[in-house]
Structure 1
Amino acid sequence: MSKKHTKPTHPHLVTELCDEGARLYASALTTGRVARAEVEPAPCLLEFALLHPDPDDPNWLRPVPPSSALAQRLHPIEREIQDRRRFSVELTDTFEPFMAISTQKPPTTHAITVLEGFDRIDAALDVAIAESQTEVLTVQPGGGRSEHNLSKALDRSKPLIDNGIRVRTLYQHTVRHSQRTFAYVERMAGTKMEIRTLEELIERLIICDEAVAFIPARDDRQVALELRHPGLVAYLTKVFEHLWARAVPLMEEVPYGPASHGISGVQRSIAKLLIEGHVDEAIARRLGMNVRTCRAHIAKLAAALGSGSRAQLGYLIAKSGILGETEDYSEGDTRD
């Protein structure tokens, strides 16, 4: 016996009934039935139980009254709404005694709050940014942002911009190679958003109205600190302003200065970190690039200076004068 092949369905919601399905259902309601063969182009009518088999003739289908079909679909929705209402009442009843206690004295504002988990961090950021009145400052280390992160930034920034709040953001020079970043900037054109870049940034920082600041508390960024101590926030604001004064507006060219020994500005930054003893991964992270790109720059730097080993490279960097320094570094002065 050969297998009977059924016609594949054409997926859509019952709220988006296809044209053929709507026509056949209306026809069935008018005439009282419809031939099963006619319904083949619209299998949705059977899937949504808008038609059922005619008990007198299996070759025909009878329509389910629209009032019955509607009631059948509304019932679970109304039950869910009732459950949600009941849950909201129970939730209110649970917290009402504690609300009464908290209203007896002003709420305590902690100088430092530990936020664990991305959801809690994002929720605290959303509240602080939504309450901002004048200015939001952000430091975003790393290279080009992912589409997801830029979308989140857009969602957070747009309400601020619409309310006339100034937003200043520091990225690293590496974002200048990201088309997504420039597309994001174009969407913010004509607003109070300003973006500048630096060669090197240490960690993420967000400050709202010089009243609350957020910093990561762990390298994986799953734990953050919400800081509300006026002295701490004022100090971090000064750090931001110091970085901002040294940074270059995104739409301006980075003034790396004349190349020395054929060594670029990026490679000079890598050279400085190398002689300070940083490993490749740390250098890449601080300059907002991947480790492979960082090592390619180190190889070019070694070739330009004629270095045959990592230890010798540190010595040659110090002696070459490319960093404008006169300190004498020994060949063993590395922490790699």
Structure 2
Amino acid sequence: MQSSSELFPVALISAELRGDLSEDVYRLKPGNSPDPSVELVLTRLGRADHEQHRGAPVILLHGSFSNRRFWYSPKCIGLGPYLARAGFDVWIVEMRGHGLSPRNQNYVSNRVSDYARYDLPAITRFVHEQNPQPVHWLGHSLGGTTIAAALGGRYLDESMIASVALFGSQVSRNYWPLKIPPLVWGIKLLLKRFRVLSGSRLKRGPEDEPIGVILESLRWYGLFARFGDGRDDWWAGLTEVQLPVLAVSAQGDDQDPAWACQRLFEQFASPCKEFLCLGKEQGFSSDFGHIEMLVSKAAQGEVWPRVEQWLNGVASLNQLQQAQ
């Protein structure tokens, strides 16, 4: 693979103009995990007429059963294009086996701990190499949970990060069947018969999820719930994170309820943080849902500008701190 990076092999697999936007697609092969076959695809969006003046880098991470199209539709609509048009340097990640990223050799055994420990640090380093400014990490659902795991495990270099934003992300919802050991054993035996769970069959999204991720999440919600892996306690580690944090929940989200999202938010020790619940009681036009919080007409007018405002506010805060 011809490399466009000094860190590890990276290939620019396409470079296109999409109307007023430029789209560059990169395939990374970090080689930093136990499975050397892992390759990750990143799509970069920028304003076609401002390639020499890149703004602050923003990395968008999709949730389960999803891919880059959650952030960026074929018609160039989505939070990704919105932020690119606002002047940000936008990078959209597709995790192992999702979208344009191929399935790695041990795909079935992939876990969030692999994403957090190996993939997110490699992505951060590459984006920082291309644009040496602190990056903003934004994640939806499992994407946000993965970012929290990477921060709680201290796998990310905070000096390279400007802020994090979590949308519909939590690890505290109660699933009472998972509190009963015999039921958990039965569920695990059943799930181990599958290699993947199909997003299309479950009507959860266009992508499959490896069974390793599903089995791992059972530990987070079980009788002795622990957000972490065998080596690190991510939940405890979040109390040391000082980065600016934005957490967004949706009043109509039954999958990741607002109270659980707030509990994850409160675990961060960050002195600069904001919690936002999207509901009628909070002054929004409706009680947003899990997907609608970012992908809907209402989100375009009510949520995307708030995200832009947050990112610009963090930039202003950093400039003020540097001036002091």
Same structural fold, with TM-score higher than 0.5 when normalized by the shorter chain = no
Structure number with the bigger relative contact order (C-alpha 8 A, sep ≥ 6) is 2
What interval of TM-score do these two structures reach, taking the shorter chain for normalisation? Answer: under 0.3
Task: Give the TM-score, by structure 2 length.
Answer: 0.24
The structure in which a higher percent of residues are helix is: 1
Task: Give the TM-score, by structure 1 length.
Answer: 0.24
The structure in which a higher percent of residues are strand is: 2
Larger radius of gyration: 1
